[in-house]
Amino acid sequence: MADPRVVSGFKPQTKDLVYSPVVNKSKGSRLWDIDGNEYIDLLNGFGSSMFGYQPDFIVKAIHQQIENGFEVGRAA
């Protein structure tokens, strides 16, 4: 999940976070790294996480689809 857009144009004088955290879990607007530190995702995944991480209605829909099946390929 390395993203070079995060580091291009990086100015250490104006930013506190000078490393890329390794995310262990996420929920809503928050991320937790492998050391247990909690962060707020101010960039919102560059807009790709419009509803935040793991919104309940999407998690529910994915679980339902898994129970229904997610076959790959086609029947002969």
pLDDT tens digits, 5-60: 656 666 666 666 667 788 999 999 899 999 999 998 887 766 677 888 999 999 99
Q: Say if CB 31 and CB 43 are below 8 A apart.
A: no
Determine, yes or no, domain membership for 35: yes
CA nearest to 55, candidates 24, 25, 23, 29: 29
Determine, yes or no, domain membership for 41: yes
Map tokens 């829909």 to a residue.
Answer: 61
| Structural domains in the chain (count) | 1
Determine, yes or no, domain membership for 50: yes
Determine, yes or no, domain membership for 34: yes
Determine, yes or no, domain membership for 2: no
Determine, yes or no, domain membership for 60: yes
The predicted structure's pLDDT at residue 1? 47
Determine, yes or no, domain membership for 54: yes
The predicted structure's pLDDT at residue 46? 64
Query: What backbone phi and psi angles, to 5 degrees, belong to 22?
Result: -95, 110
Determine, yes or no, domain membership for 39: yes
Q: Which domain holds residue 58?
A: 20-68
Reply yes or no on whether the pLDDT at 2 is more than 60: no
Which residues contact residue 75 at a Cβ distance below 8 angstroms, ignoring those fewer than 6 apart?
Answer: none
